Structure 1
């Protein structure tokens, strides 16, 4: 008969990183300085791709050209339509033995400008917006906002716009009703108190001097934009301009153990995955890091994982080494690196504590995502879960496992099912996030670091 202590050893233990690996906290703090710089420089998917390309070039990666000769240890990369990053390190073994894929997304919930965005009403000029992804609309008014994006002008040239990030820049905002006049608004359900049509960004209030002109404030704003960027109202049709929070990533808490920022979902997994790919040298398996777009709106389109762009890249790698891509896919493993919800004691009723994932307790794996009865998920098999947990244990990674909240409250999906649909074994893993999809999400530095150590171990693994 086992003793009580021996029986206790059979329990699933979910301890903090600080308790299990106190020495890792300083390493996590150092690693996250680079991550905060990434966050501040990469508030859109285009900026994230451009920043990542700089890091890849500095690390010696060469642009991939279909048909080029590839040898073990070579590092190549490809940028898809300025919004996706594909980076690979060629392994010592044949690609027929499979790829090791780390895939994260670099788009985040935000506000986009509508095709005809600029209007004037009762003494103010505004931009109309269309929300992108699953935002809670009431969270976006009364915070400082910035404009980021590109405009393809009539003459065929492209101009980049960034306003609101430098200290000397103006910022923008969305107004809300004052509490003194908010009695009727207070009676509305939360999703109805601020509607999509309320999310208009304030641009200015000064009219042009001509008192006989119509839309004097709108014309003033257009004149300023034309002076700064050489654009006219027609150019908004061929623009991609995003409205994002203007604040920078900041340490949270007196102990500085957390990071608050816009865009943790999913740059908090993208940066560690990219760094692990950059640092790997002469891996056994060919490693591939993919930073993709459009996850927040279903992964469709030519830059989403539901398209063929990433699989074409893998097929071209196989072709360059004379390997059948079907065999390579069947032998591959993928970590679908996306965030999950961190258990929030302030809203404990939304979670099931035993199956929650907690900030500060390590990187989280989740066998399935989706909603309700596991709909829209790939549901990783037991063998793949066993492989990953053994790998993490062997490499000293602090990890936890769980689900996203109580059943039937909602749910969420990742890109895992799109990769699994290509006959690639795929499992979800990521950093737990507090206030996910808000303009200011919060993560534990220790969890970010454990995600990085997982991706690094996966890149180097020879199993």
Structure 2
């Protein structure tokens, strides 16, 4: 057997850039420019969901609550508490034949304000925070932070805040000890160098002029908040306020082939899934996307994948599609469905090569990643796709020209992680993890390849449509 013939039989992941023609490369850059603008402007679950609905409605999608009957070609969406949503295009096949579903999440690691956050210390006004999701706490100090979120007042009115993103906005930051005095800190492990209770945000320093006031700087901030937003200290108790990196998503590298930004995990999958369903008009199977909340903290809560939101919406579809509703029909729709769990994987990092399995790692620029399983140690805390479903998906991708690569998350016993795949698989669906590789995942500034972003879109689009 010749060496050339042996090479034909061997598997080797392709580099997506070398597979492109010039006009496709231009399309990749244009697609990523729009993606970068979208995630730069929508850094919270509420902002992402709201912007997604604007795009859906502009494309003819209707709120499911306003629909009385469903037929092939209809486009609907459902919003859950402003932080999670489902969108669907009804297919040609009978609904009971199952859905083609792409499920992702729109929450990212961040710092949440505590219910009673405001205090004064060291001639500064400060906010107390509680970190959300898996972060390296030392990465969040001495960087510009923006404040995003909503405050619900006791009369039910809503105040929206988005401060720190514009060039003329003030930013916020968390201090760190100078190296001249950091001897004891630097003796600690990296996980202990900055504690959760030290993630306190500097928000002001100018006191009120009233000599009778004890906490002059705190009072000055309260007066500012009352003047600018008509809120009081008690209003923080019914608020969802997040501190996120104030950076914009930007091109990275001389060749501009990478994107650096906050929240690629997992908004890169959510955005590409959204664009994929927006480009579908008449699918064979009913096409569905799920943009869920709270994945970074276990998918628990009424906006997470472990809630009944998805199941309730499938029941809603069945009720509007068939003349006679039955619970058995709901179960048939669920068990006949096929799912891509759209979440990111860890990109191989040569500076930390010891934790990656070289031949089973994801690489930037080699297309969308398919992961048969996630989990940790002995594959715990995850589902696993069947060989049949793996074969079906790779065949679909190959025929459509989607560049893809297989990978798992690091070496065995080096760590691990999970996605919403396990919760979808509990409905007896076929589920496969599928998303782009991310460098420096869960950091305030993550990196993805523009080629991988685009091929994620292609993968989701062909899966939903075909």
Report TM bin, short chain: over 0.9
2:19 maps to 20
2:338 maps to 333
* Residue 378 (1) aligns with residue 378 (2): no
1:419 maps to 424
* Residue 271 (1) aligns with residue 271 (2): yes
1:39 maps to 39
The question of whether the paired residues in 2 share the 8 Å contact of 1:67 and 1:319 is answered with no
2:81 maps to 81
By how many angstroms is 1:122 displaced?
Answer: 1.8
CA distance in structure 2 between the aligned counterparts of 1:65 and 1:231, rounded to whole angstroms: 33
CA distance in structure 2 between the aligned counterparts of 1:5 and 1:128, rounded to whole angstroms: 63
Label 1:13 to 1:22 Cα distance change in 2 as closer, same or farther (>3 A): farther
CA distance in structure 1 between the aligned counterparts of 2:359 and 2:116, rounded to whole angstroms: 49
**Pairs within 5 Å for 1:57-96:** 57-65=57-65, 68-96=68-96
Match of 1:442 among 441, 447, 452: 447
**Pairs within 5 Å for 1:53-452:** 53-65=53-65, 68-322=68-322, 324-452=329-457
CA distance in structure 1 between the aligned counterparts of 2:2 and 2:89, rounded to whole angstroms: 50
CA distance in structure 1 between the aligned counterparts of 2:67 and 2:271, rounded to whole angstroms: 29
The question of whether the paired residues in 2 share the 8 Å contact of 1:41 and 1:51 is answered with no
Alignment partner of 1:207: what SS?
coil
By how many angstroms is 1:327 displaced?
Answer: 1.1
- For residues 98-136 of structure 1, give each alpha carbon's deviation from its aligned partner in whole angstroms, at most 9, with x where no partner exists: 100011100000000011100101201100000000010
The question of whether the paired residues in 2 share the 8 Å contact of 1:276 and 1:452 is answered with yes
The question of whether the paired residues in 2 share the 8 Å contact of 1:433 and 1:441 is answered with yes
CA distance in structure 2 between the aligned counterparts of 1:402 and 1:21, rounded to whole angstroms: 22
By how many angstroms is 1:167 displaced?
Answer: 1.0
- For residues 318-353 of structure 1, give each alpha carbon's deviation from its aligned partner in whole angstroms, at most 9, with x where no partner exists: 121227111111111011000110001111111111
CA distance in structure 2 between the aligned counterparts of 1:17 and 1:413, rounded to whole angstroms: 26
Alignment partner of 1:56: what SS?
helix
- For residues 42-69 of structure 1, give each alpha carbon's deviation from its aligned partner in whole angstroms, at most 9, with x where no partner exists: 1000000000011001101111028721
**TM-score, normalised via structure 1 length:** 0.98
Alignment partner of 1:192: what SS?
coil
Greater displacement, 6-15 / 185-194: 6-15
Alignment partner of 2:126: what SS?
strand
Alignment partner of 2:447: what SS?
strand
CA distance in structure 1 between the aligned counterparts of 2:211 and 2:361, rounded to whole angstroms: 62
Report how many residues are paired. Answer: 460
By how many angstroms is 1:166 displaced?
Answer: 1.0
CA distance in structure 2 between the aligned counterparts of 1:37 and 1:20, rounded to whole angstroms: 26
CA distance in structure 1 between the aligned counterparts of 2:378 and 2:215, rounded to whole angstroms: 53
By how many angstroms is 1:25 displaced?
Answer: 2.5
CA distance in structure 2 between the aligned counterparts of 1:68 and 1:428, rounded to whole angstroms: 34
**TM-score, normalised via structure 2 length:** 0.97
- For residues 375-413 of structure 1, give each alpha carbon's deviation from its aligned partner in whole angstroms, at most 9, with x where no partner exists: 011111111111110010010000000111111121110
Greater displacement, 420-429 / 3-12: 3-12
Alignment partner of 1:314: what SS?
helix
By how many angstroms is 1:22 displaced?
Answer: 4.3
Structure 1 runs of 4+ with >6 Å offset: none
CA distance in structure 2 between the aligned counterparts of 1:32 and 1:233, rounded to whole angstroms: 41
The question of whether the paired residues in 2 share the 8 Å contact of 1:66 and 1:320 is answered with no
Gaps of 5+ in 1: none
By how many angstroms is 1:314 displaced?
Answer: 1.2
